């Protein structure tokens, strides 16, 4: 029997969250771990900050580009070893820098958890599962995300987005108008487009609003809005209050 609750659940937003530059910044602690892993495995001194513009690339893609920068032709084993060593070093490097959860993120996630349990939040990230877990554990965000789609190879971020959408569909109803990728780079917008999702772009990472706006995100912000405004955004997803019960008037 179709009850109003079930109808609303069918239209409930599904949010796919990027990590670096969107949920948090590690203040380059990840780079500290990366540079050390490169040194251990190749013997080369390496500075990821100056070598590669990393935002939006996946961990495996960064490994591939790192080897290219060093003039090394890697095989898949080399890439897996570099990423694996980085994953091992990352938990120890995170406390070395002054990273933080970005503005309004924790408040939005807490508000969603408290007031909108129908909204499902997942990770959609170029981090590996272990790298993502290390960061979200350190910044106490892991409990907001029951699952996610992660980097597993050097394939395009769009492939991660497709896996994320499949995962969300297995977990519950997904309405195509209510799928949103929240991210800080052109790569996030591209991967949202690849699955027909909307993008909330936020200029708290490696790209400015002027760089993100021309790519046509659904919405773009300097920082994520405070929770009330974020909920209003979600309510506007379906257009003209299509998913709203009539009694749910907002002041
Ligand atoms: Mg990012």
Q: Which domains does the chain have, with CATH numbers?
A: 4-26+100-235 (3.40.50.1000), 29-96 (1.10.150)
Q: Is the pLDDT of residue 7 over 90?
A: no
Q: Separation of 23 CA from ligand 1 center, angstroms?
A: 8
**Residue 6 host element (H or E):** helix 4-10
Separation CA 149–CA 168 (nearest Å)? 10
Q: Which pLDDT score is estimated for 189?
A: 96
Q: Separation of 178 CA from ligand 1 center, angstroms?
A: 21
Instruction: Provide the whole-model pTM.
Output: 0.90
Q: Separation of 123 CA from ligand 1 center, angstroms?
A: 11
Q: Is the pLDDT of residue 244 over 60?
A: no
Give the pLDDT band of residue 64 (cuts 50, 70, 90).
very high
Q: Which pLDDT score is estimated for 111?
A: 98
Closest CA to 188 of 50, 4, 18: 18
**128-175 tens-digit pLDDT:** 999 999 999 999 999 999 999 999 999 999 999 999 999 999 999 999
Q: Separation of 153 CA from ligand 1 center, angstroms?
A: 17
DSSP assignment of 73-125: ---HHHHHHHHHHHHHHHHHHGGGS--EEPTTHHHHHHHHHHH-TTSEEEEE-
**70-98 tens-digit pLDDT:** 999 998 899 999 999 999 999 999 999 99
Q: Separation of 87 CA from ligand 1 center, angstroms?
A: 17
Give the pLDDT band of residue 5 (cuts 50, 70, 90).
very low
């Amino acid at each position: 029997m179709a009850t109003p609750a079930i109808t609303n659940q069918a239209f409930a937003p599904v949010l796919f969250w990027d990590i670096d530059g969107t949920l948090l910044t590690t203040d380059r602690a990840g780079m500290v771990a990366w540079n050390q892993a490169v040194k251990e495995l190749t013997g080369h001194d390496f500075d990821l900050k100056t070598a590669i513009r990393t935002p939006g690339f996946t961990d495996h893609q960064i490994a591939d580009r790192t080897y290219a920068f060093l003039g090394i032709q890697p095989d898949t084993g080399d890439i897996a070893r570099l990423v694996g060593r980085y994953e091992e070093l990352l938990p120890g490097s995170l406390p070395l820098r002054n990273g933080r959860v970005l503005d309004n993120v924790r408040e939005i996630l807490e508000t969603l958890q408290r007031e909108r349990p129908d909204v499902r939040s997942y990770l959609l990230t170029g981090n590996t599962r272990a790298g993502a877990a290390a960061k979200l554990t350190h910044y106490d965000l892991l409990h907001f995300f029951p699952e996610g789609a992660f980097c597993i190879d050097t394939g395009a971020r769009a492939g991660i987005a497709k896996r994320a959408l499949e995962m969300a569909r297995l977990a519950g109803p997904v309405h195509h108008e209510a799928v949103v990728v929240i991210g800080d780079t052109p790569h996030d917008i591209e991967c949202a487009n690849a699955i027909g999702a909307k993008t909330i772009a936020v200029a708290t990472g490696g790209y400015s609003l002027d760089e993100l706006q021309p790519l046509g995100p659904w919405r773009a912000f300097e920082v994520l809005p405070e929770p009330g405004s974020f909920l209003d955004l979600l309510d506007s997803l379906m257009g003209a209050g299509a998913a709203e019960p009539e009694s749910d008037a907002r002041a």
